[in-house]
């Protein structure tokens, strides 16, 4: 989950730390005008003994390393190491990586279409993005990338690995992947492409029932969602139910998650964040406008649903606005603030945890669906078999009934080709549609 802030915030914090660090007395005691410095202020002081150790190591590397290393390289490596020791999402962004991050939030970038993170020295796939080379090659959430072409990933930084996977559209790249359940690594060859990610995709599953997929949360996602909802309402009179598909959605911009949640809620808290700095304490609430018109809603999630996806699923679950279906989500419940520096670089730093309206932290836990549905391959057991009904029996009584009362035959009373195709190609979506039909039937029967 990303927040973008102005350089002033970082500059203010940086100046504050530097000024007190350089003012520390040589005897390492924390004093100011003869008095003890407060505990809060003490946290901003740098320990001189550790600084001496750092400078000693710096000097020894400069003098004794087998090859000459310039000061800039050593300092930037030190910065990277400092951040890598915190958590997987705090990173130092050089110019190229910072540019890539800004491109990603706008929805257009070059590469393979993978959302990745570091885990135990390897690059782990959080989620492949729809309609990209990664999806076409069959890369899955939780895959571990062991090699990029002939280069082992072990020992690389995340930025180095991403840099190798980026390249000119049309060029080929080979990834060696470890996947749970596979006895040996998979070797996949992909062709790089210009990745243009449409944040929102929508269609009618069948008359009265709509489907909206969010591939990732971009700056325009909230507005695009509202347009998609209005379009489905117009195409279906009435709109009886809606599936919101957040599977394999790696997240994105915090404000977009809030806007998506707000499109289905008309009151109450959506999400709040807690951090150490005052400006990291944020609360977001729903507005009275409700473009969804409270249509019955099912939200699909899985292990590739992370961060912003979990904010939406958690808010709708806590407000009992939707039924959450699928499998447990990824469990990324932290907020990253992008702090631009004055040298075309930036710091992406974890600054807060976010919480659902009921106070749940999703960090390392994830969202547990209301109805757990694993994806499955389904085949019909009745295809080609003979079926007999009462009307097929010799000497059966003829139907006699009140012709004024005609049964209301639902389109789902007998499976059709479309339904069978959906069951075979996307079992979780098929079950979500069936649940919506059941909700509609019950609601229609109520006075």
The residues assigned a catalytic role are: 307, 318, 332
**Tokens of residue 216, six digits:** 């990732």
In DSSP terms, 418 is beta-bridged to none
Q: Over 166-232, what HEC string results?
A: CCCCCCEEEEEEECCCCCCCEEEEEECEEEECCCEEEEEEECCEEEEEECCECCCHHHHHHHHHHHH
**CA separation for the pair 255, 264 (Å, rounded):** 15
Measured CA to CA in angstroms, residue 312 lies from 199, 253, 266, 370, 436 at distances of 15, 12, 14, 14, 19
- Count other Cβ atoms within 10 Å, centred on residue 428: 21
In DSSP terms, 209 is beta-bridged to 206, 241
Nearest to 136 by CA among 178, 73, 224, 195: 195
Measured CA to CA in angstroms, residue 380 lies from 53, 387, 416, 434, 438 at distances of 69, 14, 12, 16, 21
DSSP-derived secondary structure letter, 238: S
CA angle 308, 5, 51 (to 5 degrees): 105
> Is 338 in contact with 5 (CB distance < 8 Å)?
yes
């Amino acid at each position: 989950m990303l927040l973008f802030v102005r350089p002033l915030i970082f500059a203010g914090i940086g100046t504050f730390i530097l000024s007190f660090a350089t003012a520390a007395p040589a005897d390492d005691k924390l004093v100011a005008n003869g008095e003890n410095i407060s505990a809060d202020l003490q946290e901003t002081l740098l320990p001189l003994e550790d600084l001496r150790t750092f400078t000693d190591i710096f000097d020894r590397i400069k003098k004794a390393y087998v090859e000459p290393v310039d000061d800039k390289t050593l300092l930037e490596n030190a910065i990277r190491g400092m951040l890598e020791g915190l958590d997987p999402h705090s990173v130092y962004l050089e110019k190229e990586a910072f540019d890539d991050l800004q491109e990603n939030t706008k929805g257009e970038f070059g590469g393979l279409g993978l959302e990745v993170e570091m885990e135990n020295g390897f690059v782990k796939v959080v989620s492949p993005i729809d309609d990209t080379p990664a999806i076409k090659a069959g890369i899955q959430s939780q895959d571990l990338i062991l090699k990029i072409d002939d280069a082992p990933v072990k020992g690389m930084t995340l930025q180095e690995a991403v840099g190798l996977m980026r390249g000119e559209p049309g060029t080929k790249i080979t990834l060696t992947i470890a996947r749970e359940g596979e006895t040996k690594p998979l070797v996949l060859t992909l062709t790089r492409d210009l990745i243009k990610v449409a944040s929102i995709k929508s269609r009618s599953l069948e008359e009265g029932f709509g489907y909206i997929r969010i591939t990732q949360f971009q700056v325009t996602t909230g507005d695009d969602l509202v347009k998609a909802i209005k379009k489905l309402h117009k195409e279906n009179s009435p709109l009886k139910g809606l599936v919101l598909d957040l599977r394999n959605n790696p997240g994105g911009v915090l404000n977009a998650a809030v806007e998506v949640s707000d499109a289905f809620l008309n009151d109450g808290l959506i999400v709040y964040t807690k951090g150490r700095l005052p400006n990291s304490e944020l609360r977001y609430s729903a507005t009275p406008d409700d473009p969804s018109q409270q249509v019955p809603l099912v939200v699909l999630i899985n292990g590739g649903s992370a961060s912003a996806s979990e904010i939406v699923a958690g808010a709708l679950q806590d407000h009992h606005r939707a039924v959450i279906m699928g499998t447990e989500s990824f469990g990324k419940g932290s907020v990253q603030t992008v702090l631009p520096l004055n040298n075309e670089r930036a710091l992406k730093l974890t600054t807060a945890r976010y919480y659902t309206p009921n106070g749940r932290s999703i960090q390392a836990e994830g969202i547990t669906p209301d109805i757990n549905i694993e994806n499955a391959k389904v085949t019909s057991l009745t295809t080609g078999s003979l079926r007999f009904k009462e009307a097929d029996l010799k000497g059966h009584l003829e139907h006699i009934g009140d012709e004024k009362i005609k049964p209301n035959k639902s389109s789902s009373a007998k499976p059709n080709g479309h339904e069978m195709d959906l069951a075979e190609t996307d079992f979780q979506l098929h079950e979500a549609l069936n649940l919506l039909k059941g909700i509609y039937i019950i609601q229609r029967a109520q006075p």
